[in-house]
Structure 1
Amino acid sequence: METSRAIWTIPNLISVVRIVLVAVFGALLVAEQDGWAIVVLAAAGVSDFLDGFLARRWGQVTQLGRILDPTADRLLTIVVVLGLLARDIIPWWLVLVLLARDVMVGVVLLYGWSKRVRSPHVTYVGKAATAALYVFFPLAYVSFERVDVLHTIAIVGASLAAVVYWWAGVGYVRDVLSRVADSARAAEESDASPA
């Protein structure tokens, strides 16, 4: 699907709202307002599905949206995992696995932008992994020190989702590096062609 240069679209607005919800969730988590924090996290999870669905459905896939949507996802993931780690709800190694993936993808995206290649489309695998994390992290949150079996299921589920999250991340990295290589080849061919 072609991307437009439009800025003021409903899907983009939903992505901006999700970024605001990240800050609200973080504040509620620190204040130990667990009930409201879960409501805000659920709203952020719904918005994650909604912005992409509406963008595709209404033909409103934009260049800004291709930056806003994954940025909102990464910010939410970072705030959630650091907040849950600070409350000892999830293990440190799971946080490291998730943050290492985001650092890897972030560095490669910056490299791609420096070479003026378009960022890759968010994939269904990446969305599925993020959605699974949005299910298992709240489950870990509400079951912590209440229902040990559910908390264990949530940590195992989040760990499996982290594997898929990495798989999607490696796909994004390969896509960006492939675009950079294609761009360099095209530039070389253009320079080599007779004037």
Structure 2
Amino acid sequence: MPAEQSLARQALNVPNMLSLLRLAGVPVFLWLVLGPEEDGWALAILIFSALTDWLDGKLARWLNQMSRLGQLLDPAADRLYILATLVAFLIREIVPWWVVVPLIVREAVLGACVLVLRRKGFAPPEVTYIGKGATFVLMYAFPFLLVTDGHSALAAFARPVAYAFTAWGAVLYLWSGALYVIQTVRAISRDRGAAASG
């Protein structure tokens, strides 16, 4: 019971509440993009998500409110937003399948790595600066991509910016995924080596 109360208190700190709000925004964003196609409101949610993704980490350090729950919530919210946005943009034909599929495969591979590591008694791979940078760039690419859906002057202006951010973010995202796979392989190799020597 004390652990549950501790988790409840952690959930009420400012950074974790921002992460929870970000998570709650995912289904709303999907409905806005795929249902009534209210892109203005969907854009507002994407901008809010990108800002809070940056802000929750800063606040956790400034307010000394870093927590285990926050370490789980923040990347979970990021991954869910990225996957949901990619799928929505694919359905709307805002981005082509050959951009979306490698990024989704990357997530599936990382999920398999986490399962393997947990089965072996290891913690998930450590988050790298490249991974954080990739998430940051993609989260800022998505609002620009949404604006490109149309033939307005704003869409024409946003298109090169969106494509540049998307290309940069996708490369970093795949690179960080490869680094996480390498971490996993090394951990399992060390474990096997220790078992063999023991």
TM-score bracket for this pair, using the shorter chain length: 0.7 to 0.9
Between the aligned partners of 1:103 and 1:49, the Cα distance in structure 2 is: 25
Question: Paired residue for 1:32?
Answer: 37
Question: Paired residue for 2:58?
Answer: 53
Between the aligned partners of 1:173 and 1:13, the Cα distance in structure 2 is: 31
CA shift, 1:163, in A, is 0.5
Cα 1:186–1:173 shift into 2, 3 Å: same
Question: Paired residue for 2:78?
Answer: 73
- Contact between 1:90 and 1:155, CA under 8 Å: does it hold in 2? no
- Contact between 1:139 and 1:154, CA under 8 Å: does it hold in 2? yes
CA shift, 1:173, in A, is 2.1
Aligned residues: 185
Cα 1:153–1:44 shift into 2, 3 Å: closer
Question: Paired residue for 1:85?
Answer: 90
- Contact between 1:12 and 1:68, CA under 8 Å: does it hold in 2? yes
- Contact between 2:32 and 2:38, CA under 8 Å: does it hold in 1? yes
**Structure 1: gaps (5+ residues):** 1-5
Aligned partner of residue 125 in structure 2, secondary structure: coil
Letter paired with 1:166? L
**Structure 2: gaps (5+ residues):** 1-5
Letter paired with 2:183? D
TM-score under structure 1 normalisation? 0.82
Between the aligned partners of 1:63 and 1:118, the Cα distance in structure 2 is: 13
Letter paired with 1:105? L
Cα 1:148–1:96 shift into 2, 3 Å: same
* Aligned CA-pair RMSD: 2.3
Q: How does 1:1-195 map to 2 (within 5 A)?
A: 7=7, 8-9=9-10, 10=13, 11-30=15-34, 31-145=36-150, 146=152, 147-148=155-156, 150-185=158-193, 192=198
CA shift, 1:82, in A, is 0.9
- Contact between 1:117 and 1:176, CA under 8 Å: does it hold in 2? no
1:16-58 CA-to-partner distances (Å, cap 9, x unmatched) read 2211111111111122111111111111112212222333444
Between the aligned partners of 1:149 and 1:182, the Cα distance in structure 2 is: 51
Between the aligned partners of 1:57 and 1:182, the Cα distance in structure 2 is: 37
TM-score under structure 2 normalisation? 0.81
- Contact between 2:137 and 2:168, CA under 8 Å: does it hold in 1? no
Identity among equivalent positions (%) equals: 35
- Contact between 1:26 and 1:83, CA under 8 Å: does it hold in 2? yes
- Contact between 1:112 and 1:119, CA under 8 Å: does it hold in 2? yes
Between the aligned partners of 2:176 and 2:76, the Cα distance in structure 1 is: 15
